[in-house]
Amino acid sequence: MKLSNTMLAIFVIVFIISLTLSSLTIINKLENYQLQLTGKSTAGQIRLNVGLPEQVAELVPSPAPSGGAGGGGGGRVSKPLEIIEEIPIENIEKIFEDKEGSIILVKKIEANKEIIIPIGNPFLSIQTIKLTLKAAEDVKITVKELNPKEIEEILSYDKNRLESAVYKFAKIIAVNGNGEQLKIDSAKIVFYLEKNWLEKYNIEEEEIRLSRLRNGKWSYLETKKIGDTAEHAYYEAVTAELSIFAITYEKPFEEPIDEIKEEFPIKIPEKYLTLVESLSLALIVALLVLFNVLYLHHRRKLNKLQSYHRKKLEEIEKNHKDEMEKMYRELDKKKIFKREEKSLPRRAYEKGKSKIKDILRRI
């Protein structure tokens, strides 16, 4: 009987563990489906097959945030150079032709020796040019600057769009005494900008770059901050040639422009959640029914065993009674006890019978 109880307990424990593992497997699969529905998309609708039978999840992304400073079309923020490249180069050059600039004349700059040329105009952002020439020359330097607002007004460009990407445009021309373009070895350009512009367009001071136009393309130059005041920040950029420049910025770790990462709230179809609930309920009911069947089976076996032992006990009791009666009759025939003492064997018989019952009950 002890072995039977142990086997029943083991079976119930194994069944419960199996049921738990099955439920965890179902839940894990549902979680996997949720993860599969998180990904990358562009604006519009997408359809993703989540692996459930005959079920395709239709997801409509929430409207993309409108571009803030320098925001472009398509719900994304454009890079500063992208905004600058929207302006045709010939338009910028034409505006520069009509613009007056500061002219600095320097006599006999030695070859392969850096010379510092202060511009001397407080209204220009370009403050100093450090030149190194390949040959000794007389030098004439012209510096012109354009405010982005001027370009926006002249070209009827989107208001504040260009200003959000560029602080100022600058054109630096260096010619020798004969009016020919100088061949420089290197140049360092020192410039400043107002901190109000940085705050207005949420730009960090370390993100400022001087960009150069070369062969119709804009590219960032090596730029470092060299000082600041309460209102201005000062920078120095290195270039291998003089051209048209733009004081702009470069944001680190920008997202790829051809895709936008969006996460969608995932909702498992209600009919599948109902299916899981029904399956779980069915498993619980099956467990209860199985437990009840096993209990009834075990109870029947126990009742049968009790009935068997009861019959055995009755047989032993009957045999013992018969033997005691027989022994009593034999003693009575032999007149061993007096008539008034005949009750003594009877008391012994009853006492022995009680002990036997007690022994059998313990068994």
Residues 231 and 319 in one domain: no
Residues 137 and 244 in one domain: yes
Task: Answer whether residue 272 is part of any domain.
Answer: no
What pLDDT is stored for residue 224 in this prediction?
95
Residues 182 and 327 in one domain: no
What pLDDT is stored for residue 74 in this prediction?
41
Domain that holds residue 337: 308-362
Edge-first strand order for the sheet with 232-239 is: 115-118, 126-133, 184-194, 232-239, 222-228
The pair of structure tokens assigned to 154 is: 């002249």
Task: Answer whether residue 44 is part of any domain.
Answer: no
Give the tens place of pLDDT for each residue, 113-142: 889 999 988 889 999 999 988 888 888 999
Task: Answer whether residue 301 is part of any domain.
Answer: no
Q: What is the CATH number of the domain that holds 107?
A: 2.60.220
Return d(Cα 106, Cα 13) in angstroms, integer: 97
Residues 89 and 187 in one domain: yes
| 92 close to 169: Cβ distance less than 8 angstroms | yes
Helices (H), ranges, 184-335? 195-200, 270-333
Counted domains in the chain: 2
Which residues of the chain, if any, have pLDDT below 70?
Answer: 1-9, 11-12, 14-15, 18-78, 253-273, 275-277, 328, 331-349, 351, 353, 357, 359-363
The pair of structure tokens assigned to 83 is: 């905004």
Residues 247 and 318 in one domain: no
Residues 205 and 111 in one domain: yes
Residues 133 and 222 in one domain: yes
Which of 226, 253, 280 finishes a domain?
253
Which of 223, 253, 283 finishes a domain?
253
| 114 close to 147: Cβ distance less than 8 angstroms | no
**Could you tell me the pTM of the whole model?**
0.51
Task: Answer whether residue 228 is part of any domain.
Answer: yes
Task: Answer whether residue 289 is part of any domain.
Answer: no
Residues 98 and 244 in one domain: yes
Task: Answer whether residue 170 is part of any domain.
Answer: yes
Residues 233 and 330 in one domain: no
What pLDDT is stored for residue 320 in this prediction?
74
Which of 253, 280, 296 finishes a domain?
253
**C-alpha distances in Å from residue 304, one per residue of 5, 263, 337:** 16, 66, 45
Residues 209 and 322 in one domain: no
Sign of the Cα pseudo-torsion (267, 268, 270, 273, in order): negative
189 beta partners: 129, 237
Task: Answer whether residue 59 is part of any domain.
Answer: no
> CB neighbours (10 Å) of residue 235?
22
Residues 117 and 210 in one domain: yes
Residue 112, Ramachandran bin (φ over 0: left; ψ between -120 and 50: alpha; else beta): left
Sign of the Cα pseudo-torsion (309, 313, 318, 319, in order): positive
Task: Answer whether residue 39 is part of any domain.
Answer: no
Return d(Cα 135, Cα 185) in angstroms, integer: 9
Residues 156 and 231 in one domain: yes
Return d(Cα 76, Cα 43) in angstroms, integer: 10
Q: How far is CA 345 from the centre of its chain?
A: 95
Return d(Cα 346, Cα 332) in angstroms, integer: 11
